[in-house]
Structure 1
Amino acid sequence: MTTVLDILDKGTAYLEKRGIEDARRNMQMLVAHQLGCTRMDLYLRFDEPLEEDHLAPLRDALKQRGDGVPVQHLLGTVFFRQHEFKTDARALIPRPETEELAEWLAKHVTLPENARILDMGTGSGCLGLSLAHDFPAAQVTLADLSPEALNLARENAPRIGALASAGAIHFIQSDLFQNLAGQSFDLIAANLPYVPEGEQVSKEVRHDPALALFSGKDGLDLIRRFVPEAARHLNPGGWLAMEIGIDQASEVETLLHSAGLREIRTLKDLSGIPRFPVAQK
């Protein structure tokens, strides 16, 4: 007889052997998902026997996780701030750092009445949809070059509630601002690709679309195109907020200054890394 505790212990040992970080937590997430409960509930169910109809899919998920398939893809969802969003191989898995940016914007940015917000490179839509929830009076546009990513964002829109059906959220396929001519915004947020071409990334990250990761020799090719265009699409007093990679802050701040923006600074993430350049027009 295999109990919940047995499968947790054996699965954790297997994932550790395969080099998976935070193996115990990963295994808890897989078991809780299979049983339809929370990770905390597992502590009350350690002695519960597991039947084959639970064990078989768990073995399959465990093998995939050991092969580097992200746990978020196996679960099919990820929590981002106060919402649970769908995630899969069509877009970048939402990162905790991006959550930090969304939280900072919600706390520190004041927007005018009937504000317009743009989430450029929206991917799964988590950032833009969270901003739509935080600024419910705003019109929010989610833009991405990838039609597959935009479809995922559309599927995620109902997860923030009634706002999604109130006509305040718009989706547009666009190579940066190509299909946004004549539009201006009070807040433009962007988590664009910033990984240098050829840089080694983890097995998990390799499951994200390359289009969402890599951007030239130093990772800044797309950002160099984006910043001056974004500045031209900002209303006076409007905010530009971005997420960037390690050691990119200095060059990005120079780009922001050259674009004529002011109040330029790069906020640090919880690990102390300068991660989020913000500026105003």
Structure 2
Amino acid sequence: MKTILETLDSGTQWLEKKGVEDARRNMQLLVCHQLECSKIQLYTRFDEPMTEEALEPLREMLKRRGNREPLQHILGTVEFYLREFYTDSRALIPRPETEELCEIVLKQLRPDAPQKILDMGTGSGVIALTLALEYGAQTQVTLADTSEEALELAAKNTTALGVENTTSTRTNLFSELADQRFDLIVANLPYVPERERPSLAAELEYDPDLALFSGEDGLDIIREFIQQCPSHLENDAQIALEIGIHQHLEVEQLLAKAGFTDIKTLPDLSGIYRFPTARWTAH
């Protein structure tokens, strides 16, 4: 019977052969999930034997990860802004960069609580629910997405976290929002160029295409969003976006053409200019 350490070692080697990046960490998290323990607790149990009862489901999870199914889908949850969110194939897996977008909004763009926020393309709801919880009950947050499946996942997270200051709308951009206006609109819309599809990591095949791709240069949806946005902003409102690499100059031009001011793009922790922000002043 293998010990926990031997199981970790053999599983890590198998994942490495399958081309999984950071295979050791992946294996550790799978074992922790199966044994319902923390990584610290795992280190103290290396010499314990792994029972067949524990190994059988672990082998199935390992097989799924070897097929490049995302670790987050296998575990069923992801940590985002120090909270646990459900995640699966209904929406894009929350990325660390999106946590940075929330940090920028909360600490730099709007340290004061806006009354009305829209999260366009909400997916699993991580941005909207984080802002709703951090700002508190004085802020009303609308979760908007064109995917009914994504909104179902967002609703599951809303319930799990006990968030009450939100509403949800299924809409293609602003089509179902009529004359609603907001003090802040945050959007992590699809921005991957279609031409990059063949070179993407295998794990991204498990994310919905609807949440990833947006035309040949990745900006089709963002162009339409920026054009429609002013009609749904209060005076002196702001927007904050997440975009892909090498897109910020064109996005800044789109914002300027639409009449936005105070336009700037902030870098992520890797130095990539990823987060355009701008202000809308009613004419």
Aligned residue identity for 1:159: A
Q: Which residue of 1 aligns with 2:224?
A: 225
1:1-281 correspondence to structure 2 within 5 Å: 1-110=1-110, 115-136=115-136, 137-161=138-162, 164=163, 166=164, 168-199=165-196, 200=198, 201-281=200-280
Aligned residue identity for 2:260: L
The answer to whether the 8 Å contact 2:113/2:135 transfers is: no
The answer to whether the 8 Å contact 1:98/1:243 transfers is: yes
TM-score by length of 2: 0.95
The answer to whether the 8 Å contact 1:128/1:142 transfers is: yes
TM-score by length of 1: 0.96
Structure 2: how far apart are the matches of 1:110 and 1:91? 27
The answer to whether the 8 Å contact 1:111/1:186 transfers is: no
The number of residues matched between the two structures is: 277
Structure 1: how far apart are the matches of 2:266 and 2:114? 27
Structure 2: how far apart are the matches of 1:221 and 1:113? 31
What SS class does the counterpart of residue 204 from structure 1 fall into? helix
Deviations 1:101-125 (A, max 9, x none): 0111111133766610000000000
Deviations 1:211-254 (A, max 9, x none): 00000010000000001211221111211000001110000000
Which deviates more, 232-241 or 202-211?
A: 232-241
The answer to whether the 8 Å contact 1:119/1:143 transfers is: yes
Structure 2: give runs of 5+ residues left out of the alignment.
none
Structure 2: how far apart are the matches of 1:66 and 1:53? 21
Kindly, what percent of the aligned residue pairs are identical? Answer: 56
Deviations 1:68-104 (A, max 9, x none): 0000000000000121000000000000000110111
Structure 2: how far apart are the matches of 1:130 and 1:184? 21
Runs ≥4 in structure 1, deviation > 4 angstroms?
A: 111-114
RMSD over aligned Cα, in angstroms?
1.2
